[in-house]
Amino acid sequence: MEQTITILGLESSCDDTAAAVVRADRSILSNIVMGQNDLHAGFGGVVPEIAARAHAERLDICAEAALKKAGITLAEIDAIAVTAGPGLIGGVMSGVMFAKGLAVGTGKPVIGVNHLAGHALTPRLTDGLAFPYLMLLVSGGHCQFLAVEAADKFHRLGGTIDDAPGEAFDKTARILGLGYPGGPLVESEAKKGDPARFKFPRPLLDRAGCDMSFSGLKTALRRASEAVVAEKSGLTKQDRADLCAGFQAAVSDVLAEKSRRAMAEFAARFDVTSFAVAGGVAANKTIGAALRQAAQAAGFRFSAPPLKLCTDNAAMIAWAGLERFQAGDFDDLTLAARPRWPLDSNAKPMLGSGKKGAKA
């Protein structure tokens, strides 16, 4: 029987410690994610030092669990793929050091993967999507449209000039006292709310191109919330739900409209009609539906990874590593953590990989 390539993937760039085993036939033998929400919830956001410590403590447990679930041993792995950036430096270093240790111990090659490439290549793992395709990468730290031309060739068409949408969701949740992480909580409140009650802006729609801005939206949300509090000395459940629904509708409208423009630009350039989305915010059902509708209207095929593969995970890192492995492109023990690592090195630097910059 022909031996298929098997990769162990490791992810520790933000607040999830993850390990997964993936094969070249696109099968995911295991995909373990050990979250840290409990450790950071009290702070309303990720505390880098706490995250790094937790990664260092859990990476080996996580990797062992992934191998066990996959029913294989380290000896049967062809290579170890690890997120080498961008991300919170302590977490990325924990992962890179652990991966190098495994490489030395087993004699297997190590492959340093760009976390954003992991997200951007996910539709190839889930849907077998061919190059090139248009990708909207939308997460807690990033928001950008990319033409994905090859596993190592990305061209940025536009992105946020300030906050990333996930960051805005998290801040909205904090302003409204909903908890952390904000995205799923705001989404669940929004289900009970009226999106038309509060009129939120749709930033940068008046400007040509696919750049976006979300920081004004967050300020508008804060002002609207403060106005209700000043009037009624507090927020009712319905007020909160309406604020969430209005905010989510604004984000959704902006992403859908900018996607229309990005699709037009992409189709003109490549004569291909394939649009995929990835990153934590892609887990939002309202946003996902708006993007799907925009794609259908433009005659594009739309791919959205299942929820578990939208948010941070190691299966996407294993897959991105696998694509490098197949190209014979490995790292050695000089592999270093890169807290900042743009996918498109030719694109002019923007404020806009989200202010946090580190998260992806």
Shortest distance, position 280 Cβ to ligand KG4, whole Å: 2
Spatial separation of the C-alpha atoms in residues 208 and 231, rounded to whole Å: 38
141 binds ligand KG4, rule: CB under 6 A: yes
Strand 274-278 relative to strand 133-138, pairing: parallel
259 binds Zn ion, rule: CB under 5 A: no
Q: Using the rule CB under 5 A, which residue among 30, 114, 122, 139 binds Zn ion?
A: 139
DSSP 35-85: E-HHHHGGGTS--HHHHHHHHHHHHHHHHHHHHHHHT--GGG-SEEEEEEE
Shortest distance, position 242 Cβ to Zn ion, whole Å: 30
Spatial separation of the C-alpha atoms in residues 19 and 229, rounded to whole Å: 45
Closest CA to 182 of 281, 255, 278: 281
Q: Strand (E) positions, 129-217? A: 133-138, 143-150, 153-159
166 binds ligand KG4, rule: CB under 6 A: yes
Q: Is 99 in contact with 82 (CB distance < 8 Å)?
A: yes
140 binds ligand KG4, rule: CB under 6 A: yes
312 binds ligand KG4, rule: CB under 6 A: yes
Q: Which is nearer to Zn ion, 70 or 360 (CB)?
A: 360
Q: Return the range that interacts with Zn ion (CB under 5 A); candidates 26-34, 43-51, 77-85, 135-143.
A: 135-143
Binding residues for Zn ion restricted to 309-328, rule: CB under 5 A? 312
Binding residues for ligand KG4 restricted to 243-282, rule: CB under 6 A? 279-281
Q: Using the rule CB under 6 A, which residue among 94, 114, 284, 353 binds ligand KG4?
A: 284
Cβ neighbors of 256 (< 8 A, separation 6 or more) are 290, 291, 293, 294
Q: Which two tokens stand for residue 342?
A: 């743009």
170 binds ligand KG4, rule: CB under 6 A: yes
Binding residues for ligand KG4 restricted to 189-248, rule: CB under 6 A? none
242 binds Zn ion, rule: CB under 5 A: no
Q: Which is nearer to ligand KG4, 169 or 319 (CB)?
A: 169
Sign of CA dihedral 18, 160, 205, 202: positive
Edge to edge, the sheet with strand 153-159 lists 153-159, 143-150, 133-138, 274-278, 301-303
Kindly list the residues in this chain that would bind Zn ion in the complex (CB under 5 A): 139, 312, 360
Q: Which residues bind ligand KG4 (CB under 6 A)?
A: 14, 139-141, 166-167, 169-170, 181-184, 187, 279-281, 283-284, 311-312, 359-360
